Amino acid sequence: MYMTEEISHEINELAIRSYRLQRTREQLSKHNIAAAILTDPVNIRYATGSRNMQIWTARNMVRYAFVPAEGPVVLFENGNAFHLAKHLETIAEIRQATSLEFGISGERFAQHAGRWADEIIDLFHQTCGKGARLGIDTGNLMGILALQSRGIQPVDAKCALDIARSIKSADEIMAIRSAMVACTEAVTAMRDALKPGVTERELLAILNKENIARGGEHQETKLLSSGERTNPWFTEASDRVIGSGDLVIFDTDLIGKHGIFADQSRSWVVDRCKPSDHQRRLYAMAHEEMSFNASLIRPGVTFLEVSQQSWRVPEPYVANRYAEIVHGLGLAGEYPLVYYPQDADQWQYSGHFEENMVVCVESYVGAENGEEGIKLEQPYLVTKNGAVPIESYQIEEEYL
Q: pLDDT tens digit string along 4-34?
A: 455 556 899 999 999 999 999 999 999 999 9
**Domain map of the chain by residue range?**
3-165, 167-399
Name the pTM for this structure.
0.95
Do 3-165 and 167-399 come out as alike in CATH topology? no
pLDDT in tens, 334-387: 999 999 999 999 999 999 999 999 999 999 999 999 999 999 999 999 999 999
* Burial 172-186, CB ≥16 within 10 A → b, else e: bebbbbbbbbbbbbb
Angle between helices 41-48 and 158-166 (to 10 degrees): 60
CA-angle at 146, arms to 140 and 147, nearest 5°: 90
The arrangement of secondary structure in 167-399, i.e. its CATH architecture, is Alpha-Beta Complex (3.90)
Q: What percent of the chain has pLDDT over 70?
A: 98
Indicate the range of 110-114, 123-127, 269-273, 372-376 predicted with least confidence: 269-273
* CATH (one of 3.40.50.11900, 1.10.150.120, 3.40.350.10, 3.40.50.10860) for 3-165: 3.40.350.10
User: How big is the chain by its Cα radius of gyration, in Å?
Assistant: 23
Q: How far apart are CA 184 and CA 203, in angstroms?
A: 15
